[in-house]
Amino acid sequence: MLPLSPESDGSPAPGGGEEPIGIEDPGQLPHAIQSQLNDPLKGGPPVEVAATADSNSIASSPMPQHLQALERANRVRLARAALKRSIASGEVPVTKVITECPWQTESMTLSELLRAQSRWGRTRTRKLLASVGLNENKRLDTLTERQRMLLVSQLRPH
């Protein structure tokens, strides 16, 4: 379907032009397109109409939810990898991460966080968490203040 001329007389734009029609009044549209705009089960407007509609239309809807989730997951993954490298190198103490709980660690498990430290493996992590009565699969954002302080006190050298 070729774009219509601005006069909306139904003829193609001169020279097969690229200029789309401006839709200010939905009453200008043919009945078939109007029914699609009003009926969400019909799939919404055709591409030509969606691409040229004003800012309050379907064309300005935000990115689809699954793409937003993927974008956030990638951001979190990259931020966690950087944080784990910082913890392993000793730049950031794990006790600070536990007490402050930055956004990238909210859904991180305690086991994953503790293992990011140099020379901390599965056995050492399990022993520490068992001594304070915490499950290794517990998420960092679900810790109470008391549990945080107890874990930090066990991690600090005496």
Q: What pLDDT is recorded for position 156?
A: 87
Q: Using one digit for the tens of pLDDT, what is the confidence trace for 36-57? A: 555 444 444 445 544 454 545 4
DSSP-assigned letters across all residues of 39-54: -GGGTSS-HHHHHHS-
Show the domain range for 46. Answer: 14-60
- Write out residues in the chain with pLDDT < 50, as ranges: 1-8, 13, 16-23, 39-46, 49-51, 53, 55, 57-58, 158
Same domain, 79 and 39: no
Q: Using one digit for the tens of pLDDT, what is the confidence trace for 5-15? A: 444 455 554 55
Q: What pLDDT is recorded for position 139?
A: 96
Assigned domain for 4 exists: no
**CA distances for 32 relative to 39, 59, 85, angstroms:** 11, 19, 58
Number of domains forming the structure of the chain: 2
